[in-house]
Amino acid sequence: MPYWRLSAFYLFYFAALGILLPYWSLYLRSLGFDALAIGQLMAVIMVTKLIAPNVWGWVADHTGRRIAVIRLASLLSLLVFSAIFLVESFWAIALVMALYSFFWNASLPQFEVVTLNWLGRDIRRYGQIRLWGSVGFIGAVGGVGALLDAWPAGIVPGMLLLVFAGILLSSLLISDGPGASRHDDSHPPLGRVLRQPAVIAFLIVCFLMQAGHGVYYTFFSLYLTDAGYSKGETGAFWALGVLAEVGLFLIMHRLMARFDARRLVLASLLIAAARWLLIGWFPGLLALVVIVQLLHAVTFGVFHAAAIHLVHGFFPGRLQGRGQALYSSLSFGAGGALGSLAGGFLWDTLSPLAAFAAASGVSLIAAGVVAIWLRPVHV
């Protein structure tokens, strides 16, 4: 198995995310945009995440040329993003962001299929490859952050362009994998799969879990700074959560060997419900904030690895690409968007605690769905 070539793609892909999430808004502000315009431009990326994975998943599943689709998407995202150096108006930047993210958001779900094809029966070791995405995220956040202490925000597009080039290069170094021909020959109709109660329950659970995380991703930094923490301390808390995630991915194969994916999903949802309440009630307690950040290993790491495992079982053969696309778009796209929007509404109209309490509530609802409708699946 080409461990390092598979890992390199995750490293560069999530390094791009580690630049976009914290620093792209700083670049937009340096161009003179206000908070409303910045929020609208950042929302463009989320909207394309709802659409692009499903479009490209259909193409990859029907052509059977998955790695070719990944390479094309990586090349087009690099080429389109290079136009960012030529534009400064709101609508021109929005167009560039919409186009490059349409291609960029398409590649990861398909690469998940490629990774699982290479792993074959040993898919429990997925976490040992995926952890390099977390390493890339941490490296990008820390590295670019240090550069921005000495250089203006105008360097951010250049840093992103280098990372997009790394994504393209790593996609050129890998093939579809020996599992591709073995699994892609036949499959049931997609409609029949989507009508299964367990599949419906699983997709609802993924949507609700990421809705809870949407509140966290959007408002955690603001909540901490309001509680008196410095920006440096807030950044350290984010890094701690991702480091815990890396440690989890190192041992995830052992957890998968001992517990079925359904139990891991249920446990992560219950812990998520407790995590959001603890953040909401006790933001000023340093030791408790450290603990809840370490729990990111469970609420994201365990859940994501188990969900990938379930997607692989629910969507066989040539449905793999569309299965990964549905998981990505419904959870990180639709779920994250709902959490962000609803959290903002509750934050302004009621209180920050209400936003995190709602996140806890949807996590508990998702746990109930798992307990009642998501039956054990052995892949």
- Those residues with Cβ within 8 angstroms of residue 234's Cβ, 6 or more apart along the chain or in another chain: 221, 224, 225
Please tell me the predicted confidence (pLDDT) of residue 376: 54
| Mean pLDDT, the chain, integer | 85
Within 13 Å and on the Cβ side, how many CA atoms surround 275?
26
Q: Above 50 in pLDDT, residue 379?
A: no
Domain boundaries, the chain: 1-185, 191-379
Please tell me the predicted confidence (pLDDT) of residue 354: 92
Q: Widest CA span of the chain, in angstroms?
A: 57
The CATH homologous superfamily of the domain defined by 1-185: MFS general substrate transporter like domains (1.20.1250.20)
Q: Percent of the chain having pLDDT more than 90? A: 35
Confidence of residue 25 (pLDDT cuts 50, 70, 90): confident
Q: Taking residues 27-55, what's their average pLDDT? A: 80
Q: Taking residues 21-39, what's their average pLDDT? A: 79
Dist. CA 15–CA 156, nearest whole Å: 12
Any idea what DSSP says for residue 32?
A: T
Instruction: Tell me the angle at which helices 197-226 and 320-327 cross, rounded to the nearest 10 degrees.
Output: 40
Confidence of residue 378 (pLDDT cuts 50, 70, 90): very low
Give rounded-to-5 percent helix, strand, coil for the chain: 85, 0, 15
- Those residues with Cβ within 8 angstroms of residue 321's Cβ, 6 or more apart along the chain or in another chain: 56, 57, 58, 60, 61, 66, 109, 110, 113
Q: Which CATH architecture has domain 191-379?
A: Up-down Bundle (1.20)
Any idea what DSSP says for residue 169?
A: H
Please count the other Cβ atoms lying within 10 Å of the Cβ belonging to residue 20: 20
299-330 burial, b for 16+ CB within 10 Å, e for fewer? bbbbbbbbbbbbbbbbbbebbbbbbbbbbbbb
pLDDT digits (tens, 9 = 90+) for 281-293: 998 889 999 999 9
Please tell me the predicted confidence (pLDDT) of residue 333: 78
pLDDT digits (tens, 9 = 90+) for 286-318: 999 999 999 999 998 899 889 988 988 888 877
Dist. CA 305–CA 204, nearest whole Å: 17
